[in-house]
Amino acid sequence: MDLELKYLKLKEHFKNAKVIESCAELIGWDERTNMPPQGADLRALQNSALSKLHHDLVTDSWLGDALIELASASVNLPDDSDICVNVREWIRVFNRANKIPVTLVQEFSKTFVYSQQAWQEARSQNNFVLFQPWLEKIIDLKRQEAKCLANGRVSYDALLDDYEPGATSLELDSIFYPLKDSIIKVLRSCSKENNRNLILGNYPEQKQKIFSEIIAGYCGFDFNAGRLDTTAHPFCCGIGPGDCRITTRFNPADFSSGLFGVLHEAGHGLYEQGLDPDHFGLPTGTAVSLGIHESQSRLLENQVGRSLEFWRFIYPLAIKFFPDQLSNIPLETFHKSINQVRPGFIRVDADEVTYNLHIIFRYELEKDLLSQNLSVKDLPDAWKAKMKTYLDLFPDNDATGCLQDIHWSAGLFGYFPTYLLGNLYAAQFIEKAKKVIGWNNNCLNLDVLSELRQWLKKNIHLKGKRLLPGILCENVTGEKLDKKYFEQYLMQKFIS
């Protein structure tokens, strides 16, 4: 069989594996939006069956020799060519999957269904004890996975690599802790004026949903290829070409909370919808990392969504939707209210300054949990201590403390740091974008939003996994990732 035929055979094989993965994504979306509570047993079996099928496909015995042969035959091709990128990433997937026993894959895929159900119940009842045994089991399974993958590395890094290829906790520490000091300086210098209560009122959920869909559409999210639903914890589910699901949760007292959730997930959605559909199932048609993915959601939510230019454009529409609540509030006052810097308990509602402190202490806690420096039973108290240290707040219940995020119930250890990486990438990307598109200080209209979307699609989305995250950043901006852009953004917005 010649080289081209072998490559085509591998493409078909890995596309089939991606189809199985997309089915798992779909039932995962259903679990968190529509599944009745008594469906958990069946859903666990479905997840287990799909995970085994996917694992069997990506560890098929014939793949090893075929991949080595293709890698050798394509050694003289450009590193970012389709064949080199796909073979490189297929080898990574094959090697990683072969280190993890299929029994462990199945056990985890069943367990996280029950774990997420337990988390939802514990959160609604404000009772960590209901979730504790499931979190203990999840962490045990993740430790086993990390042991399989570590190969001399720190266990946490073995899991982090699944979300941010090549990143290490040592590297993150060297970025996060100097940044933490800068963030605390910004926090201490921010205005203490309280405008937040001015926009609180009664905002009907259905009106919020319609308004949010309109604004997401303005930003480019295609509702003919996607949909918006409500859930306990917002997420984006990129099932495949023509099908991207985003979710949010609406606060009846504050419409901006649900809207920013939609903008965040729509940013993820634009990335998914911006991938090359002709490369579905291939690394060349897959997002490069979660840090880059989060840059797209944080950019739309914050650099766009919280900017005065954006609200000059959409505030008249917001007043039409909510005249009783907003018509007497001047634009500048409203804008100050949605950008108020004030430490709070809930990460997803946090301002752009304190959000980063939420991420750093979660990063510290999950490292301690995995390394057994912290026991699960002590997590609530450890969480409260971290929140007191970082935000000078002390939650009096677990629902606003260690039960507020879904991530650990789903086994997503190593995920949290990508939010902060996303903030750093977003600040650097938007600085470059502003120099090449028609963004000015007057108004972000539909034309400018379209230009921004097309620039992101061309420079980031359509690249797939051709470049590793750091190289992609350097390729797009001309510089390696540098925290100074985010520091400058915060200083100019909140202090200048």
3-state helix, strand, coil in the chain (%, to 5): 70, 5, 30
Contact 249, 234 (CB under 8 A): yes
**Secondary structure class of 237 (helix, strand, coil):** strand
DSSP H helices in 372-439: 379-391, 417-436
* HEC sequence for 397-414: CCCCCCCCCCHHHHCCCC
Label each residue of 204-229 as H, E or C: CHHHHHHHHHHHHHHCCCCCCCEEEE
CA distance 269 to 296: 9
Question: From CA 92, how far away is CA 50, in angstroms rounded?
Answer: 21
How far is the C-alpha of 329 from the C-alpha of 365, rounded, in Å?
41
C-alpha closest to that of 266 among 289, 233, 241, 293: 293
- Give the count of beta carbons closer than 10 Å to the beta carbon of residue 311: 20
Residues annotated as part of the active site: 265
Sign of CA dihedral 275, 277, 281, 284: negative
